[in-house]
Amino acid sequence: MIRHVIKRLLLAVPTLLAMLTVIFVLVRLVPGDPAIAMLGDQATEASLQAMRSQLGLNEPIHVQYVDFLARALSGDFGRSMTSGRTVLEEVLQVLPYTLELTAAALFIGALLGLPLGTWAALRRNAWPDYASRIISLTGLSLPGFVSAILLLLVFAVHLRWLPVMSAAASDPVDHLRNLALPALNLGIIMAAYITRVTRSSMLNVLGEDYIRTARAKGVSQTRLVLRHALRNALVPVVTVVGLYFGTLIGNSVLTEIVFTRPGLGKLILGALTSRDYTLLQGLMVVFAAFIITVNTLTDLAYGLIDPRVTYD
Amino acid sequence: MTDPVLDVRGLQSEFRIAGRWYPAVRDFTLAVEANETVALVGESGSGKSATALSILRLLPAVGARIAKGSVMFAGQDLARLSEAEMIRLRGEAIAMIFQEPMTSLNPTMTVGAQIAEVIEIHRGSTRRSAMAEALRLLEEVRIPAARQRLNDYPHQFSGGMRQRVMIAMALACRPKLLLADEPTTALDVTIQGQVLALLNELKQSYGMSILFITHNLGVVAQMADRVAVMYAGEIVEFASVNKIFEQPSHPYTEVLLKAMPRVDRDSAGLEPITGQVPGITALPVGCAFAPRCPLRQPDCDRHPALAPLAAEADHVVRCVVRAGQEAAV
Ligand SMILES: Nc1ncnc2c1ncn2[C@@H]1O[C@H](COP(=O)(O)OP(=O)(O)OP(=O)(O)O)[C@@H](O)[C@H]1O
Ligand SMILES: [Mg+2]
């Protein structure tokens, strides 16, 4: 198992390198002079020249590439053009918020989606099945920012149960209250995905021979689902959760804006609007690394769920 | 004579296809005595599995039903028990093993845990003592190095070894009746022989009865005391194993025997069976075998009842020509 983990981590390295290369090329393919893009067309030639050399754009391309790789791998993505702080500092400052939001969304998604999907599979073509399908379809088709606004209107504005803005709070209870609505917003979308895959994967598993064997052993319905079916149904669910993380980032941008919450989403938007070229490049690396990590974790989870996944 | 362990009377099980119910098992009457093996033989689609699943009430919850008949076991009619009562009985008094050893075990549970589970559920044992018993059972079905294999997963076993695990699981609570649905069909011949010998031996030491489903008459000869031949959901002939082989009386049984490879006959004389079992939605009105029957007569348009052959009360045949009696409805 340990060997498998190490091997899988080593496999992530070439992916990371390829991804850094793509980002490097992408940034340089963007038409126009990045110095002008950043400083605006009113900038003097001297300041543009200074900017170019600061960005290393005067070096030959292969020198730029090696330099970029070396810096990126040591966590140095340069300084934000707008704040003057290092990109790493900027990211680390908001990363906990994003991680917390993501984890909470995943928790809510699993908490709602797994039972709902299982229930639908057990009552196939009866009302729980239809109800779950309608709920998950709604969750899937409703854009994240629309559901965010709806949640705000209902729980914050109308019922006044939860705060409208969810900035930092030192009190842990306030902190959770701040987290509740944004997490619910992303969690519902997550739950919609999880419900759907859980349902179909459960239906598959419930038709398997070993489920019939378990029934022939005198296993009760509850035990059948919890001990025999659920674990076997989990692999596709984990796959979808892993894939969904990519979408989750896009949705978290919108969620963070609607709830005025700090996070990577907000940071990327700020970098875009202020044309903060170095911050943007750094954020691309951070996001890509995030996705690679999630993929690696997903692969490792397969091994935990299914003993047939080989470790060699 | 003591009461039979299992006494099925007039069983009819149906599947719903396109909104209508069709019988997969019809007018099925059969008793299994204590410590007896009754073989249920027939081609694919003749309703053997549907019969066994009906007895244990494992037919799909939707789209399948027991429409008629009774299944008497230990003084109760299983066809009328509640699901909760059936759950208590399954794996305890009646166990079942299946054809596909590769897919019939849970891939995410160790074989030890799967065997122990039966004991935990029905005996309320602790995990510890159930695991100890699981080990004893694995040794009993002769899994080599059983102690080391207790915590292995099914994919680490060969087909034959998995079927031994299935048998260990089925025997865990010393059932009175074992339903074996083609337990060796998927195994190669030598392994098949070993598993059958093991089953016979365990049947003696555990004193259980077996309803043994197969379409292989060679297996029947090795296992059965009595044989019921099934065709299109019905028993067409029921007799002791000797009578079935020496004096087959239903034309279908004869055809089956002729198609069977035997050591004492030249395989050149084999006659493959032509045609196939009618589907449950297209059953003929009269004798179901008539369309394929070499002895077909005008009388065969009427549906025959299962009737004793001449003076032998324990050899019954469902054939107007052979049993020479009045055809029933
Ligand atoms: N779930 C189902 N829905 C509809 N029809 C079914 C279903 N299961 C079985 N049948 C039909 O019932 C009949 C009997 O099937 P059964 O599985 O009992 O045959 P079998 O004798 O066990 O055959 P085999 O040797 O292939 O296992 C077949 O015609 C089959 O098509
Ligand atoms: Mg079958």
> B163 lies in which domain range?
108-172
| Cα–Cα distance, B194 to B202 (Å, whole number) | 12
Q: Taking 70 as the threshold, does the pLDDT of residue A167 lie above it? A: no
Q: Taking 70 as the threshold, does the pLDDT of residue B75 lie above it? A: yes
Closest CA to A106 of A186, A9, A26, A208: A186
pLDDT of residue B178: 97
Note whether residue B103 is domain-resident: no
- CB of B279 within 6 A of ligand 1: the answer is yes
B197 and B216 in one domain?
Answer: yes
Note whether residue B161 is domain-resident: yes
CA–centroid distance, A190 to ligand 2, in Å, is: 42
Quickly list H helices, A207-276: 209-216, 221-223, 230-258, 264-273
- CB of B114 within 6 A of ligand 1: the answer is no
Amino acid in position B97:
I
pLDDT of residue B83: 95
Ligand 1 test: best mutation among B11, B40, B44, B181, most atoms within 8 Å of CB?
B44
Note whether residue B324 is domain-resident: no
| CB contact at 8 A, A161 and A146 | no
B120 and B52 in one domain?
Answer: no
The whole-number average pLDDT for the span B152-163 is 93
Please tell me the distance in Å from B35's CA to the nearest CA on chain A: 21
CA–centroid distance, A296 to ligand 1, in Å, is: 44
pLDDT of residue B235: 96
Note whether residue B101 is domain-resident: no
Residue B97's beta-bridge partner residues?
Answer: B180
Structure tokens belonging to residue B97: 């093993």
Note whether residue B294 is domain-resident: no
Q: Taking 50 as the threshold, does the pLDDT of residue B300 lie above it? A: yes
Ligand 2 is an ion; its neighbours by CB within 5 Å are B 49
CB pairs under 8 A between A and B: 71
Per-residue pLDDT band for B265 (boundaries 50, 70, 90) equals: low
Which residue, by CA, sits nearest to atom 24 of ligand 1? B44
Angle at A112 between CA A111 and CA A115, to 5 degrees: 90
Read off the pLDDT of residues A75-114 as tens digits, 9 standing for 90 and up.
Answer: 888 788 778 888 888 888 888 888 888 889 989 999 999 9
What average pLDDT does chain B have? 91
| Cα–Cα distance, A217 to A227 (Å, whole number) | 13
The answer to whether the Cα torsion of B289, B290, B291, B293 is positive or negative is positive
B205 and B149 in one domain?
Answer: no
pLDDT of residue B54: 97
The whole-number average pLDDT for the span B208-220 is 93
Per-residue pLDDT band for B329 (boundaries 50, 70, 90) equals: very low
Closest CA to B320 of B290, B277, B291, B292: B290
Note whether residue B50 is domain-resident: yes
The whole-number average pLDDT for the span B276-282 is 88
pLDDT of residue B327: 41
| Contact criterion met (CB < 8 Å) for B104 and A218 | no
Please tell me the distance in Å from B62's CA to the nearest CA on chain A: 10
| Cα–Cα distance, B227 to A198 (Å, whole number) | 45
B205 and B77 in one domain?
Answer: yes
pLDDT of residue A79: 80
Which helix (H) or strand (E) segment is A187 a member of? helix A172-206
Note whether residue B126 is domain-resident: yes
Residue in A208, A218, A227 closest to B87 by CB = A218
Residue B76 sits in a domain whose CATH number is 3.40.50.300
pLDDT of residue A108: 93
What average pLDDT does chain A have? 84
The whole-number average pLDDT for the span B218-229 is 94
Residues 229-248 of B with CB under 8 A from A: none
Residue A30 DSSP code:
S
B168 and B181 in one domain?
Answer: no
> What is the rounded (10 degree) CA torsion for A224, A225, A231, A235?
130
| Contact criterion met (CB < 8 Å) for B87 and A219 | yes
Nearest-atom number in ligand 1 for the CA of B213 is 22
Cβ contacts of B162 on chain A, cutoff 8 Å: none
Residue in B98, B121, B153 closest to A209 by CB = B98
Q: Does B90 touch chain A (CB under 8 A)?
A: yes
Locus of tokens 């030192």: A170
Tallying the residues shown for chain A, one arrives at: 312
B11 and B54 in one domain?
Answer: yes
Q: CA separation (Å) from B138 to A210, B116, B170, B279?
A: 19, 11, 11, 41
Residues 6+ apart with CB under 8 A from B141: B164, B165, B167, B168, B171, B198, B202
* Superfamily of A95-273 according to CATH: MetI-like (1.10.3720.10)
Residue A44 gets the label, from left (phi > 0), alpha (psi -120 to 50) or beta, of beta
Read off the pLDDT of residues B101-123 as tens digits, 9 standing for 90 and up.
Answer: 889 999 999 999 999 999 999 99
Per-residue pLDDT band for A196 (boundaries 50, 70, 90) equals: very high
- CB of B62 within 6 A of ligand 1: the answer is no
- CB of B209 within 6 A of ligand 1: the answer is no
As for the ipTM of the complex, it is 0.90
B241 and B181 in one domain?
Answer: yes
- CB of B47 within 6 A of ligand 1: the answer is yes
pLDDT of residue A293: 85
Please tell me the distance in Å from A214's CA to the nearest CA on chain B: 8
Read off the pLDDT of residues A125-164 as tens digits, 9 standing for 90 and up.
Answer: 888 888 888 888 887 787 777 888 888 888 878 887 877 7
Pairing type for strands B37-41 and B76-77 reads unpaired
Per-residue pLDDT band for B274 (boundaries 50, 70, 90) equals: confident
- Distance, CA of B86 to chain centre: 19
B12 and B140 in one domain?
Answer: no
B16 and B71 in one domain?
Answer: yes
The answer to whether the Cα torsion of B239, B241, B246, B250 is positive or negative is positive
Q: Taking 80 as the threshold, does the pLDDT of residue A46 lie above it? A: yes
Q: Taking 70 as the threshold, does the pLDDT of residue B269 lie above it? A: no
| Cα–Cα distance, A216 to A53 (Å, whole number) | 75
pLDDT of residue B326: 45
B82 and B21 in one domain?
Answer: yes
Residue A34 DSSP code:
H
Closest CA to A108 of A178, A29, A52, A180: A180
Residue in B56, B106, B153 closest to A214 by CB = B106
Boundary residue ending a domain (B130, B147, B172): B172
Q: Taking 90 as the threshold, does the pLDDT of residue A6 lie above it? A: no
Q: Does B100 touch chain A (CB under 8 A)?
A: yes
CA–centroid distance, B4 to ligand 1, in Å, is: 27
Cβ contacts of A308 on chain B, cutoff 8 Å: 107, 153, 155
Q: Taking 70 as the threshold, does the pLDDT of residue A45 lie above it? A: yes
Stretch among A35-49, A208-222, B154-168 having the lowest mean pLDDT? A35-49
Cβ contacts of A228 on chain B, cutoff 8 Å: 106, 109
CA–centroid distance, A158 to ligand 2, in Å, is: 62
Structure tokens belonging to residue B266: 């030249």
B113 and B69 in one domain?
Answer: no
The whole-number average pLDDT for the span A41-45 is 80
Angle at B17 between CA B13 and CA B18, to 5 degrees: 150
Residues 127-156 of B with CB under 8 A from A: 153, 155
| Cα–Cα distance, A275 to B90 (Å, whole number) | 69
| Cα–Cα distance, A55 to A65 (Å, whole number) | 12
Stretch among A292-306, B52-66, B178-192 having the lowest mean pLDDT? A292-306
Cβ-based neighbour number of residue B296 at 10 Å: 17
| Cα–Cα distance, A303 to A305 (Å, whole number) | 6
* Per-residue three-class SS string for chain B: CCCCCEEEEEEEEEEEECCEEEEEEEEEEEEECCCCEEEEECCCCCCHHHHHHHHCCCCCCCCEEEEEEEEEECCEEHHHCCHHHHHHHECCCEEEECCCCCCCCCCCCCHHHHHHHHHHHHHCCCHHHHHHHHHHHHHHCCCCCHHHHCCCCHHHCCHHHHHHHHHHHHHCCCCCEEEEECCCCCCCHHHHHHHHHHHHHHHHHHCCEEEEEECCHHHHHHHCCEEEEEECCEEEEEEEHHHHHHCCCCHHHHHHHHCCCCCCCCHHHCCCCCCCCCCCCCCCCCCCCHHHCCCCCHHHHCCCCCEEECCEEEEEECCHHHHCCCCCC
Residue B63's beta-bridge partner residues?
Answer: none
Read off the pLDDT of residues A254-299 as tens digits, 9 standing for 90 and up.
Answer: 888 888 888 888 888 888 887 777 788 888 888 888 888 888 888 8
Per the structure, how many domains does chain B have? 2
Cβ-based neighbour number of residue B59 at 10 Å: 20
Note whether residue B252 is domain-resident: yes
Residue in B98, B121, B122 closest to A213 by CB = B98
B156 and B71 in one domain?
Answer: no
- CB of B138 within 6 A of ligand 1: the answer is no
Please tell me the distance in Å from B142's CA to the nearest CA on chain A: 21
Boundary residue ending a domain (B128, B156, B172): B172
| Contact criterion met (CB < 8 Å) for B106 and A213 | yes
Locus of tokens 């170019």: A52
